[in-house]
């Protein structure tokens, strides 16, 4: 591991000033991804700025019904928070499907949004990787690509986004608050992560020196039922081969509103808008779910070892929609619920 400077900030203004928009400096909170990558010589920061003590550890309901989550709230705190459990059970389910208890106790909300791919070639400094070293090539294209993406891919990169939490955020709808040298701004969560296209090394819309201060969830879907299904090689502490997060609201037997997002199969947290369109106003039955799953995967591009992900994701979508439908309207809250 290479030596680096270390600073601690106690408010966002100080953190941003220390960073100074210098891309050799990086913010660190839980460190559950960053420290691994520094040890592997994949990331080589000249300085780390500890932002774990910033006053961003609150979860609060806003007057308009949305839920504002501080960037430093840990994954464990968020998954077990009463407002999340009651109004956003999809988020609680997705977080608890990821990593281990110990990691969830350290990892933060903003850190989860910022986590890097687990592509083994990205994490191997001796391998060719356009994301780590622009223009060097992509060893995954013709290498072992069983865990890689089939949606949102390019000829430059086929790495999956690894987060479970972000699948729930993509489905639920959220806004990120960013603070940086140019002040404060907001961006829709689903516009934050970039597709790899020609420049996989540019992963998100953060400007130099900006940090995420809050994640604000949209108001919950009235009467919705929620389900997160994660399919993986072993039952815990494993990344998804395919996952689906769904929230379904019904009017009688008909789908009146639906949110669907996928994980483990795409290069970014993947909102399945084609599937949502296919489900709008349809009866909540298996045949509708199957049509929607086909719509979600119609543009999938398989590689040598990951073609199995397409039927696997199809099953995950159908089952998540079925389970979410079964839970719709089963409890009541003052503003509707998802469980
Ligand atoms: Fe790098 Fe992306 Fe290729 Fe993996 S898939 S080696 S992250 S360019």
Other C-beta atoms closer than 10 Å to the C-beta of 4 total: 15
Give yes or no for residue 167 having a pLDDT over 50. yes
Give residue 18's pLDDT: 97
Identify whether the C-beta of residue 172 lies closer than 8 Å to the C-beta of residue 218: yes
- What torsion, rounded to 10 degrees, do the Cα atoms 194, 199, 200, 201 define? -100
Q: How many CA atoms within 13 Å lie on the side-chain side of 276?
A: 19
Q: Can you spell out the DSSP letters for 223-278?
A: T-EEEEEEE-SSSSS---SEEEEEEEEEETTEEEEEEEEEESSBSS-EE-HHHHHH
Question: Which residue out of 132, 199, 200 has the highest number of ligand 1 atoms within 8 Å of its CB and is therefore the one to mutate?
Answer: 200
Domains in the chain: ranges and CATH: 223-334 (3.30.390.50)
| Residue 129 Cβ contacting ligand 1 at under 6 Å | yes
The residue nearest atom 3 of ligand 1, judged by CA position, is 138
| Residue 42 Cβ contacting ligand 1 at under 6 Å | no
User: Residue 168: which pLDDT band, with cuts at 50, 70 and 90?
Assistant: very high
Q: How far is CA 80 from CA 75, 93, 223, in A?
A: 9, 10, 21
The residue nearest atom 2 of ligand 1, judged by CA position, is 157
Higher pLDDT, 330 or 216: 216
Tens-place pLDDT, residues 251-282 = 999 999 999 999 999 999 999 999 999 999 99
- Please enumerate in sequence order all residues whose Cβ is within 8 A of that of 46, keeping only pairs 6 or more positions apart, or say none: 4, 5, 22, 24, 25
Tens-place pLDDT, residues 289-336 = 999 999 999 999 999 999 999 999 999 999 999 999 999 985 333 333
| Residue 164 Cβ contacting ligand 1 at under 6 Å | no
| Residue 130 Cβ contacting ligand 1 at under 6 Å | yes
Give residue 334's pLDDT: 32
Percent share of the chain, pLDDT over 70:
97
Task: Look at residues 110, 123, 103 and name the one whose alpha carbon lies nearest to residue 29.
Answer: 110
Vertex 170: Cα angle to 167 and 175 (nearest 5) = 130
Tens-place pLDDT, residues 80-132 = 999 999 999 999 999 999 999 999 999 999 999 999 999 999 999 999 999 99
- pTM greater than 0.85: yes
């Amino acid at each position: 591991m290479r030596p680096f400077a270390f600073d601690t900030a106690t408010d966002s203004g100080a953190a941003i000033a220390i960073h100074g928009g210098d891309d050799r400096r990086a913010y660190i909170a839980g460190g559950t991804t960053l420290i691994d990558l520094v040890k592997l010589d994949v990331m080589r920061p000249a300085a780390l700025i500890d932002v774990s003590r910033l006053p961003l550890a609150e979860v609060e309901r806003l007057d308009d019904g949305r839920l504002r989550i501080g960037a430093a709230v840990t994954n464990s705190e968020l998954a077990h928070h009463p407002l999340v459990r009651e109004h956003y059970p999809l988020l609680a389910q997705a977080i608890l499907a990821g990593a281990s208890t110990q990691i969830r106790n350290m990892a933060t909300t903003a850190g989860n949004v910022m986590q890097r791919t687990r592509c083994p070639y990205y994490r191997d400094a001796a391998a060719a990787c356009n994301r780590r070293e622009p223009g060097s090539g992509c060893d995954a294209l013709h290498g072992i690509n069983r865990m890689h993406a089939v949606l949102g891919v390019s000829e430059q990169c086929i790495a999956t986004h690894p987060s479970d939490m972000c699948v729930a955020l993509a489905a639920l709808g959220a806004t990120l608050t960013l603070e940086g040298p140019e002040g404060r701004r907001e961006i829709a969560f689903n516009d934050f992560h970039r597709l790899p296209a020609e420049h996989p090394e540019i992963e998100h819309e953060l400007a130099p020196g900006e940090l995420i201060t809050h994640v604000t969830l949209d108001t919950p879907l009235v009467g919705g039922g929620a389900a997160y299904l994660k399919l993986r090689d072993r039952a815990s502490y494993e990344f998804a081969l395919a996952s689906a997060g769904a929230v379904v609201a019904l009017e009688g037997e008909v789908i009146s509103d639906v949110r669907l997002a996928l994980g483990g199969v795409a290069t970014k947290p993947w909102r399945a808008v084609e599937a949502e369109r296919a489900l709008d106003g349809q009866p909540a039955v298996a045949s509708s779910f199957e049509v929607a799953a086909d719509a979600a995967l119609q543009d999938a591009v398989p590689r040598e070892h990951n073609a199995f992900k397409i039927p696997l994701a199809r099953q995950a979508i159908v089952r998540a929609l079925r389970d979410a439908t079964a839970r719709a309207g089963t409890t009541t809250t003052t503003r509707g619920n998802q469980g």
